[in-house]
């Protein structure tokens, strides 16, 4: 399978050069982009929801605070509440538009925990389906995503529940 888009991730392109918000943090840059360009699904007061550019499954979302903080404990109460509410809306939208049967939801806090961008907190919402692990990822170590990210973004934005 030819997946040239993965080389940017492997080489670390687009990763911050440091821990500050002015060090090229994509989660600080994305909110300044138009939704379609930044793959933003929904925007709130304290957080936004964006498609993962390097998804584990089709529809892999991230709920991200606008404020550049690294640790869950650094969120204030309003940010924490809206992050939880947007996670619930992400589940609702994914069930509605993709028929997801389950989810992996969580955060990798710190580089040693697997965070690709450790300096800016983000919560993953990964839809799952019975049998979504098949020949390709098990034997071929390759995940097949059947839809363009921009099409997935539009589908989820259309299914996003009102507040």
Catalytic positions, please? 122
Cα separation, 83 vs 47, in Å, equals 6
CA terminus-to-terminus distance, the chain: 41
The secondary structure of residue 111, as a DSSP letter, is G
Cα separation, 104 vs 128, in Å, equals 7
DSSP reduced 3-state for 50: strand
Which of these, 65, 79, 52, lies nearest to 153 by C-alpha position?
A: 52
The secondary structure element, H or E, covering residue 95 is helix 77-98
């Amino acid at each position: 399978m030819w997946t040239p888009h993965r080389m940017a991730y492997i080489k670390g392109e687009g990763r911050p050069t440091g821990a500050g918000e002015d060090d090229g943090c994509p989660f600080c840059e994305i909110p300044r982009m138009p939704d379609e360009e930044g793959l933003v699904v929904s925007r709130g007061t304290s957080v936004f929801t964006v498609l993962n550019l390097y998804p584990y499954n089709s529809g892999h979302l991230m709920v991200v605070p606008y404020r550049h903080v690294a640790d869950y404990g650094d969120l204030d109460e309003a940010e924490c509440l809206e992050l939880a509410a947007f996670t619930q809306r992400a589940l609702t939208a994914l069930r509605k538009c993709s028929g997801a049967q389950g989810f992996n939801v969580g955060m990798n806090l710190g580089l040693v925990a697997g965070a690709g961008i450790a300096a800016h907190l983000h919560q993953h919402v990964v839809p799952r389906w019975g049998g979504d692990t098949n020949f390709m990822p098990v034997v071929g170590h390759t995940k097949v995503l059947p839809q363009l990210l921009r099409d997935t973004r539009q589908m989820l934005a259309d299914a996003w529940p009102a507040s």
